[in-house]
Structure 1
């Protein structure tokens, strides 16, 4: 979505204190209160996020093809959308960001309008399970699939693979769980120490975990790889991991002629 007039300033951002006081347990939602603190929340909660985002720009530069569609599914406030926008060198590409949270899309529109890139961006407030996909060269699911019903993930990935052109890619970033209980315990402890180092209290860590555990359903890396290959991608490369957070590149092979 293009704006002819750019806003003079970015949306208000505040420090994430959503779980700093005792609160009634309820499932985590991407509502207006989360949207307001989301940049601070994700920076302090997801190790490597500040590495993943700039690399999405680099990967988009490498894989975006002329006259194709590029999708950011679950775009939230548009960090990965903007990274893709700056990485795509082809002016005839269509960049589409999708999120089912109206609060996220509203703020994302503002950030897109503030950005100085000329590549048009279309934002859609809809469920990514309903998004029509076609002629794709780069698609991003940046810590998004983990919030999709596990029984619907295979179908979504198959649709993405079917829509991806030869030589195209899916960037899939996820929180994962480990097959070994001992490794799971170690990685979880390290992740919690990461949060403490970023100023979260034990109460905040505990309450956030309670709120999100029925909403964010992680899977093993092996399960992700197997499903991506079954969906129709030809190769899966893990290019980043820190604790229980990983980012993968699922690649559609170039067609060869006999």
Structure 2
């Protein structure tokens, strides 16, 4: 069972959010309670991706955190010719991922790489790239360059799947969605103080874009077919194909 997330309780000292050892140790509980329909959206992403896998290609998870999606996709795709590579900038997250991978019967096909994706990302022979809840943490000025580099390393007829927190196009709905999200967090057991502390910690660290801005980023990189496959108020899943 995942260790319970208490990072932002009454003992928390406000500072910028970072994926350090404290967060990594409770991340699985944190993300499952903080992201609406987390498991469902992950399974939808894997189901979509299965249509694009090619023999002897590489499946990437950019911002792989503790490796949950990486392990799940390796077990579902069940092709021994595939390689699965998880990329993350946090060594603490990768340490947690490595512990989980060692328990998987697909561990020989999975590898992890520590990379600062804002500076450089190495992608090659990719048929599938997952980037879930990651782009929102990349500095806005670095997002286009990152997607351009990923696009260049992808094979023809390959797919990138991105799930993000997004802004509403209308301020009325945007405020409504944020309020509904905070109510959701209360229902899953977070206190008002925890919600407030985390919101302050994420200020200027998690910077969401509007749906149309994310789509435009993908199209500028060269992805011709772009669509939305998942939506929950201010959370959205994008799928884009390199033809």
TM-score, normalized by length of structure 2? 0.95
SS of the aligned residue for 1:248 comes to: strand
Structure 1 segments of 4+ aligned residues over 3 angstroms from their partners: none
1:196 and 2:198 aligned? no
Match of 2:27 in 1: 38
Q: How much has 1:90 moved relative to structure 2?
A: 3.0
SS of the aligned residue for 1:62 comes to: coil
Contact 1:57 1:85 in 2 (8 A): no
How many residue pairs get matched?
Answer: 242
1:249 and 2:239 aligned? yes
Contact 2:101 2:107 in 1 (8 A): no
Contact 1:187 1:243 in 2 (8 A): yes
Match of 2:213 in 1: 223
Partners of 1:22 and 1:114 lie apart in 2 by 34
Match of 2:42 in 1: 53
Q: Deviations over 1:70-103 (max 9, x none)?
A: 1101000011111221233432222110111111
Partners of 2:229 and 2:197 lie apart in 1 by 31
1:159 and 2:149 aligned? yes
Change in Cα spacing, 1:241 to 1:119, as seen in structure 2 (3 Å) is: farther
Contact 2:122 2:153 in 1 (8 A): no
Contact 2:121 2:146 in 1 (8 A): no
Pick from 138, 149, 155 the counterpart of residue 139 of structure 2: 149
SS of the aligned residue for 2:102 comes to: helix
Q: Deviations over 1:138-165 (max 9, x none)?
A: 0010100111111010011111112221
Q: How much has 1:118 moved relative to structure 2?
A: 5.9
Q: How much has 1:22 moved relative to structure 2?
A: 5.0
Change in Cα spacing, 1:13 to 1:89, as seen in structure 2 (3 Å) is: closer
Match of 1:183 in 2: 173
TM-score, normalized by length of structure 1? 0.90
Partners of 2:107 and 2:35 lie apart in 1 by 30
RMSD (CA atoms): 1.4
- For structure 2, which runs of at least 5 residues remain unmatched after alignment? none
- For structure 1, which runs of at least 5 residues remain unmatched after alignment? 1-11, 254-258
